[in-house]
Structures are given as structure tokens and as C-alpha cells.
């Protein structure tokens, strides 16, 4: 499978994002999700869940009131900031998670 390069535009320029096969990182992502700390916030637009690691570092979020067990890993990308995976519910992206290096 040939990697696809996309460009993600941010405030200070553009960073290449390379899609990687989900099966390469799915097990690691599921292990991280099992150890994650979740803080729920009610906003004017609904519930947002902040995902933090054991050290309190912000590593992702879920938009909506979904439990971790309901989510699957939809896609994975190598970014300038590490590996980012999407969290899906019934083939709809509802969040994301950065994996530790």
C-alpha cells in the first residue's frame, strides 16, 4: 500500500501528514485508550470528553457522549507531532488520539 501525503494547514505554515495502515498502530492505540483518563465537559454545543495520559498531558478528545468501548480506530496518520488516530463510532469520526512516541 502506497502512503498518501496530505497537507495540514496550521497557523505557522503547512506540515505534511502521511497516512499509515491502521493495523500497524491499532493495538497500541487500544492499549492507550484502556489507560486514558477522561474528563467530560458540557458545552453549549454538547458534551466534549478530554483525554489525558497518566501524567495529565492532553492527548485527544471525543465529541459526544460515547464510551471508549463503543469506539474503533478508523484511520492513522504520521504527523509532525506524532501518530494521530481517529476514533470512530459507526464509521463516523467522533474524536482523535495522539499516541506516545
Burial class (CB in 10 A: 0-12, 13-18, 19+), 28: middle
Pairwise pLDDT comparison (84 vs 1), residue with the higher score: 84
- Is 75 or 7 the better-scoring residue by pLDDT? 75
What's the CA gap between 2 and 31, in Å, rounded? 27
**Residue where the block lists cell 459526544:** 64
pLDDT at 18 over 90: no
- pLDDT at position 17, please? 75
Q: What is the mean pLDDT of residues 90-96?
A: 94
The answer to whether the CB of 11 falls within 8 A of the CB of 76 is: no
Percent of the chain having pLDDT more than 70?
A: 83
Predicted pLDDT at 4: 54
What pLDDT, on the 0 to 100 scale, is given for residue 49? 96
Q: What is the pTM of this model?
A: 0.79
51 and 63 Cβ atoms separated by less than 8 Å:
no
Amino acid at each position: 500500500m502506497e502512503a498518501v501525503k496530505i497537507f495540514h494547514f496550521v497557523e505557522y505554515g503547512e506540515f505534511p501528514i502521511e497516512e499509515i495502515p491502521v493495523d500497524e498502530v491499532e493495538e497500541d492505540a487500544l492499549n492507550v485508550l484502556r489507560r486514558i483518563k477522561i474528563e467530560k465537559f458540557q458545552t453549549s454545543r454538547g458534551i466534549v470528553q478530554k483525554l489525558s495520559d497518566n501524567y495529565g498531558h492532553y492527548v485527544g478528545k471525543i465529541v459526544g457522549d460515547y464510551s471508549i468501548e463503543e469506539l474503533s480506530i478508523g484511520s492513522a496518520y504520521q504527523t509532525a507531532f506524532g501518530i494521530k488516530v481517529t476514533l470512530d463510532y459507526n464509521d463516523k469520526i467522533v474524536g482523535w488520539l495522539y499516541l506516545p512516541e
